[in-house]
Amino acid sequence: MSREFWKAFARNRGAIIGLIILAGVVFLALFADLLYPTSPWDMVTRPFAPPLSAGTLMGSDTLGRDIASGIAHGARVSLLIGLTSTAAALLIGVTLGALAGFYGGRVDDAIMRFTELFQTIPNFVLAVMLVAIFTPSITSVTASIAIVSWPPLARLARGEFLSLRSREFVQAAITTGQSTPSIILREILPNSMSPIIVAASLTVATAILLESALSFLGLGDPNMMSWGYMIGASRTVMRQAWWMSFFPGVAILITVLAINLVGEGLNDALNPKLARKGKG
């Protein structure tokens, strides 16, 4: 399985590139404190220093903070929020989707109406509202991103459960008298994991974008350096100092791109039937 998986994954060249970039970002996040031991908020040099001057790699911002340090520490925030909020969204989404799909009928109706309630409100608007109500902090930002991200996962899980529920191996499990939790967790869930993993990887990318957008609007945790914040804080001086918003912008772009590429690779590897034909 594992070898086949890697083979399928590696066949998608984009996915490999994505994985390499992502590994770089993870490395940056893990070793940010070693690379840039001082806080990214510290004013370490003169303000408005262009890249490769005043002892900086990517220049400094309006207050003389090192942009490269902000990028490194921001990677941590982006990944942390991306992963935890996706994990939370998975927990909510898969639980509700599994219950709806497995039980069907009224339970299904109730849960799906509830899910649609969330889907009718635009993601970002709801996130902005939640963060504004609960005052911006890393917890409220993560929670609100999780709250707006779970409905698609719930729908996906429901679909998988609905189709797997009537399959022979599930019927067999039922007749052999396995308990319901055991059927859900041991029989159906492992078999529905592939599409959920692929969807989750894309949710991470969306979560990072959402976090950036929130910080851009000044709704990020005011004590955490984040890429979106860096762009938001320097957008006003874009005409005088392009580098302040350019580098964090590139960081967001390639990270999200990398995650999407990896997600596509996962899709190819995990759903071989769906994999596009004629690909090199």
Which parts of this chain interact with other proteins (CB under 8 A)?
39, 41-43, 47, 62-64, 132, 135-136, 218-219, 222-223, 233, 236-237, 239-240
Q: How far is the CB of 241 from other proteins (least distance, A)?
A: 10
Q: How far is the CB of 63 from other proteins (least distance, A)?
A: 6
Q: Considering the complex, state which of residue 64 and residue 104 has its C-beta at the smaller distance from other proteins.
A: 64
Q: How far is the CB of 49 from other proteins (least distance, A)?
A: 12
| Helix pair 227-234, 243-270: axis angle to 10 deg | 150
Q: Considering the complex, state which of residue 71 and residue 214 has its C-beta at the smaller distance from other proteins.
A: 214
DSSP count for the chain of H helices, then E strands: 12, 0
Q: How far is the CB of 143 from other proteins (least distance, A)?
A: 16
- For the chain, what percentages of helix, strand and coil (3-state, to nearest 5) are there? 75, 0, 25
Q: For residue 36, what are its two tokens?
A: 């840039």
Q: Considering the complex, state which of residue 39 and residue 180 has its C-beta at the smaller distance from other proteins.
A: 39
Map tokens 């950036």 to a residue: 212
Map tokens 């370490």 to a residue: 44
∠ CA 134-256-275, rounded to 5°: 120
Q: For residue 33, what are its two tokens?
A: 């404190």
Q: Considering the complex, state which of residue 130 and residue 198 has its C-beta at the smaller distance from other proteins.
A: 130
